[in-house]
Chains A and B, each alone.
Chain A
């Protein structure tokens, strides 16, 4: 029997780092979007960049679709394996190569966990700013692929804004570097970092990343305000923004999300229709003065209760409920879908009212948690997968929310990316020509469309889904249907 692909993989990887048995593959079958599952043909666990490069070149040579995967926390199905393709799991490339406090940078491998960078930078009073809710498990490689955000994006931006330099292997095996250790990043010539970050793994794999670190703010002031009306909380956001303040975070949770957070982490939140969290950060004299102003605004906005975090513990407790809200919803419902569409901030109220109507139409509950400061919604659509047709109803509802975001002048995704889940909604936001140009770009970098095949672009054209007869790994003898 001829097993060229597997045989060459075996020359790179010892048996314990080349997984092909069903039981070994199981943990890789789905990601943070659990509604989808798909079985890879094999998983490899490289330990250094040479192994990654060799593997990508091999995939290119054999036309083998591959997915580079970190912790698999994607909420858009972006790290769902390509059926019968190869998964390149990067978790073992988890070295923080260098923290340079003088230059305020960190040089890391793609499998490093987001929060570990902040932990390593802490002794120098520095931190890594992007803080997706999954920051204690998600990896920088995945953050780069999806340009991850978090609650603190308004002031300091998303992942892309914190990457200064990269070494990458493109999907055809070409290795290239761009950017620098200057905070200007690329600085001269097209900003290749801006292009690569957020490309959802379709261009290739980041091998080494230089990140910008930020000085830890001297003081945080976090306020939690309770409202008996969701619209009033939304109006308070507009008042805060209009005041000229620039908070580090502005978050809203609705009744159902509050209930979930209470059931799960017992954050001690007030019983309310809506909670608003606003956080100021910076130099102490500035923050103290701004906080007095902020309290005045919130008092005037009709909040019936206001709590101020007096200590780091109290601040952590406020955030714990918010950051745990997604997983907390699991306590209210066996299954849920989370969307992350964006609307202009001024149209948040309109969007929430429309979502409320959709709930009735589809007979489903929706919990709302959102980054109100940047208009980034996170409706959590609750359903029971065991009930016939429930998933389909939930998906239809999700689709209507995305269309709504676009019609209000926003985006179908603020930070989770298109992935598998929102492929079919790309045409609501981009014209056919715009999608064609993006696809041409992808093919110019990955002519065989092997890197994370089947993601981002509308379904019909995904080669993986058109596969007939033997699948690639089967053809190569890696797997068989016995």
Chain B
């Protein structure tokens, strides 16, 4: 089916009233998420593009849902600010798709995820009703917070047309360090230590590496204070593993893209309580993988989605396939929830949004 370009919220309302089943597309960057579309009318929201309001001094920005993430980041960077949840697939995703799929990058470790920075949205629900949720100021406790609810909702409850976020000043300088450990338990012990220490890291990821495991830590700060902080971190950590400064050796953009080295039929996000890592890792030992945000999230590449689905179910974990030709993007423990079902019955009683 050919996507219909949507240029206004009113057009989207009409589109929803005229069609039986509707599936939303931004830039289509997360291929695995569009399998449910089959036969549904496609609403192309990449046309709802642009920064609508940006007040650097308010730490807030309002943008069309179809705006490319790169466009938003560039506008913010001009004023020394950034989206602290660190949108994933920053080179090709739209901001709406990023929110709907709840995809944060490694820097989410420092201040929080999308749910922590979304302030409000304009939406159109399954009945074609256009309305606002949340607010436009950094603090607001009025009414039910449906804007947070929509984070990760995969376009199945209401379609976001406009989004407001809280933003922060970004640091001018960064350093990336690599720490090598012979085994996973050694690395996890180091992470435990870091998490109860005074170090405020910008990002903390780890991967299996030749002959063991590599921990990657990123520090952010000013040019004056970063060197002493890096020095202190290095001193403190080197008893177990001498950190290597890899800021110069590697392209930091790819270094901190958690999906960079992952190739396979499907790329999967798994929400992971850190204490489950040792057991989880034995189940995915033959997969390419990266643990992100201090070991609270795993990114996996697999050619056997069915096998991974079974493993995740046994562990009581959930996965979301982003990329690949999979049958269902949602794998692992079932997502069905009674509270979510009640919201669906109000926002999309006819089940139009797929």
Distance from B103 Cβ to chain A, minimum over Cβ atoms (Å): 10
Interface residues on B, range: 35 or more
Chain A residues, Cβ within 8 Å of B142: 411-413, 417-418, 422, 426, 429-430
The interface stretch among B1-9, B132-140, B205-213 is B132-140
The answer to whether A104 and B169 touch (CB under 8 A), given A188-B318, A346-B55, A445-B339, is: no
- A70 CB-CB contact with B under 8 Å: no
Does B148 reach chain A (CB closer than 8 Å)? Answer: yes
Residue in B60, B149, B197 whose CB lies within 8 Å of A192: B149
Binary interface encoding of chain B residues 56-73 relative to chain A, with 1 for a CB under 8 A from any of its CBs, else 0: 111110000000000000
B165 within 8 A of A: no
- Do A409 and B318 have beta carbons less than 8 Å apart? no
Q: Across the interface, do A245 and B274 meet the contact criterion of CB distance under 8 Å?
A: no
Cβ-defined partner of B229 (8 Å) among A161, A216, A283, A422: A283
Q: Contact check: which of B129, B139, B153, B346 meets A371 at CB < 8 Å?
A: B139
Question: Is B275 on the interface with A (CB-CB < 8 A)?
Answer: yes
A interface bracket (residues with beta carbon within 8 Å of B)? 35 or more
Determine, out of A11-19, A44-52, A301-309, A435-443, the stretch whose residues face the partner at the interface: A435-443
Q: Which of B88-96, B219-227, B239-247, B249-257 contacts A (4 or more CB under 8 A)?
A: B219-227
One of B176-184, B265-273, B302-310 at the interface: B265-273
- Indicate whether A188 sits within 8 Å of B294 (C-beta atoms), given known contacts A344-B137, A345-B57, A445-B339: no
Which of A100, A242, A444 lies at the interface centre, i.e. has the most chain B CB atoms within 10 A of its CB? A444
The interface stretch among B34-42, B43-51, B108-116 is B108-116
Q: Does B141 contact A (CB under 8 A)?
A: yes
Decide if B294 touches A183 in the complex (CB within 8 Å).
yes
Measured between beta carbons, the chain B residues less than 8 angstroms from A126 are 196
Q: Mark A153-172, 1 if CB is under 8 A from B, else 0.
A: 11111101100000010100
In the complex, which residues 226-280 of chain A have their Cβ closer than 8 Å to any Cβ of chain B? 238, 241-242, 244-246
Q: In the complex, how many angstroms separate the beta carbon of B126 from the nearest chain A beta carbon? A: 12
Instruction: Tell me if A467 is interfacial: C-beta within 8 Å of chain B.
Output: no
B238 CB-CB contact with A under 8 Å: no
Q: Tell me, rounded to whole Å, the shortest Cβ–Cβ distance linking A381 to chain B.
A: 19
A471 to B109, CA, bound (A): 52
B338 surroundings in chain A (CB, below 8 A): 170, 174, 176
Q: Closest chain B residue to A408 by CB distance?
A: B137
The count of A-to-B residue pairs whose CB atoms sit within 8 angstroms is: 270
Question: Which B residues are CB-close (under 8 A) to A418?
Answer: 141-143
Among A155, A189, A346, A376, chain B packs the most CB atoms within 10 A around the CB of A189
- In the complex, the answer to whether B274 meets A182 with C-beta atoms within 8 Å is yes
Check: A433 CB closer than 8 A to any chain B CB. Answer: yes
Contacts of A445 in B (CB 8 A): 339, 342
Q: Contacts A160-B148, A188-B271: A414 and B58 contacting too (C-beta < 8 A)?
A: no
* Interface residues as binary, B159-182 with A (CB distance below 8 Å gives 1, 0 otherwise): 000000000110000000000000
**How close is A292's CB to chain B, nearest CB, in angstroms?**
10
Asked if B32 is at the interface of the complex by the 8 Å CB criterion, the answer is no
**A187-206 interface code vs B (CB 8 A; 1 in, 0 out):** 11111111111110001000
Closest-by-CB residue of B relative to A414 is: B139
Is B354 engaged at the interface, CB distance under 8 Å to the other chain? no
Most A CB within 10 A of own CB, among B116, B142, B221, B335? B142
Q: How far is the CA of A241 from the CA of B166 in the complex (A)?
A: 14
Among B131, B196, B318, contact of A124 (Cβ-Cβ < 8 Å): B196
Give the chain A neighbours of B272 by CB distance below 8 A: 182, 184
Q: Which of B322-354 contact A (CB under 8 A)?
A: 330, 335, 337-340, 342-343, 345-347
- Pick 19 A–B contacts, CB within 8 A, sort by A: A158-B141, A160-B115, A170-B338, A180-B271, A184-B113, A184-B297, A187-B318, A189-B154, A189-B318, A190-B156, A192-B337, A194-B115, A198-B144, A284-B198, A344-B60, A413-B140, A418-B142, A434-B131, A437-B125
Other than the known A246-B169, A283-B198, what 6 A-B pairs have Cβ atoms closer than 8 Å? A100-B275, A102-B274, A289-B222, A346-B55, A437-B125, A440-B346
9 closest A-B pairs by CB: A194-B148, A187-B271, A181-B273, A218-B198, A190-B153, A411-B140, A195-B149, A414-B139, A444-B342
